[in-house]
Amino acid sequence: MRRALELAARGPLGPNPRVGCVLLAPDGDLPGGGAVLGEGWHRGAGTPHAEVAALADARERGADVRGATAVVTLEPCDHTGRTGPCSAALIEAGVARVVVGVQDPNPVAAGGAGRLRAAGVDVVTGVLPAEGVAALGAWLPAVHRGRPFVTLKIASTLDGRVAAADGTSRWITSDVARRHAHGLRAQVGAIVVGTGTALVDDPSLTARTGDGSLVEQQPLRVVVGHRAVPQGARLRGPGGELLELRTHDPAHVLEVLHAREVRHVLVEGGPTLAAAFLAAGLVDEVHAYVAPVLLGAGAAAVGDLGVTTLAQAVRLVTSDVVPLGPDVLVVGVPAPPGDAPTTVRTSTEEEH
């Protein structure tokens, strides 16, 4: 299963889950099998799923998979979309046992384990489930909630400012923090900003490598609000597709992006948009890049939340603290009402 998880990590981030599969021979000392007959992972929408890729790999090796064990990170699908059901492919190939990491929560694709059992295949579920959930990343909560997973990104001074009184904002955080933030951008399906940020900052909203070049898979660039993006704006330059949404409703934004099969959304600004998503209860995670800088005035990182007393504050449970050169990244998730905030761990930049 750990090998299958390694294979899953090779897959691209996108509308489909990252899945890996290992086929084991029906002999040897290993539980359920011996020698590896084939391996596969899902390479993106429209390509063979991990199980089918592993079966193809086994055929190329000249291996007989009848009676084999398939170890797969996510329950084999049981529906026909761009490709056929993996459950049927495993049954047709004569696989005798299937070991599953995480059961599929998607009602459209789930049911593979049931079909396999009905065909006489031995199915074991819940192997390394925590690792399997981690490998699925934002895809899993997005499927559970029926909307994209939302990360709110903030880059601010120690006193919570995102710009000075004269409007200047480049650069509050260091190049180390900015490189890390580009890594975050490369993991999401869409970056969302308000029209104020688009007009004042003229951002490109691209994901770049350490040398400044564009990564191959660019996120969708989304501007929320009723003002148009100027024709000469950097948002109309190289990068992902530009989508202008004439709305101020965060729920509608997520509905549109869900329909486009976006699983992970990064909300980058500005303060008004951040407050709108927080007030709507539509932020799943906060990434706050904090620089050891004090301004004392200027735009706040988050706009008015309607909070009038400390008891109404939006509190976060800190899941990670990462030093980034002179800056610090604090990662947190909104705390359930009544829960006291806690810190889970501190990691190093190298771990990320």
- CA separation (Å) from 73 to 102, 246, 286? 6, 40, 28
Tokens of 24: 């084991």
On whether the CB atoms of residues 78 and 50 are closer than 8 A, the answer is no
Residue of 39, 51, 268, 285 with catalytic role = 51
**Length, in residues, of the chain:** 352
Q: What is the 3-state secondary structure (H, E, C) of the chain?
A: CHHHHHHHCCCCCCCCCCCEEEEECCCCCCCCCCCEEEEEECCCCCCCCHHHHHHHHHHHCCCCCCCCEEEEEECCCCCCCCCCCHHHHHHHHCCCEEEEEECCCCCCCCCHHHHHHHCCCEEECCCCHHHHHHHHCCHHHHHHHCCCEEEEEEEEECCCECCCCCCCCCCCCCHHHHHHHHHHHCCCCEEEEEHHHHHHHCCCCCCECCCCCECCCCCEEEEECCCCCCCCCHHHCCCCCEEEECCCCHHHHHHHHHHCCCCEEEEEECHHHHHHHHHCCCCCEEEEEEECCCCCCCCECCCCCCCCCHHHCCCEEEEEEEEECCEEEEEEEECCCCCCCCECCECCHHHC
| CA distances, 299 to each of 145, 153, 293, 328 (Å) | 33, 16, 14, 20
131 tagged catalytic: no
- In the structure encoding, which two tokens stand for residue 211, read together? 């040398």
Query: What residues are annotated to the active site?
Result: 51
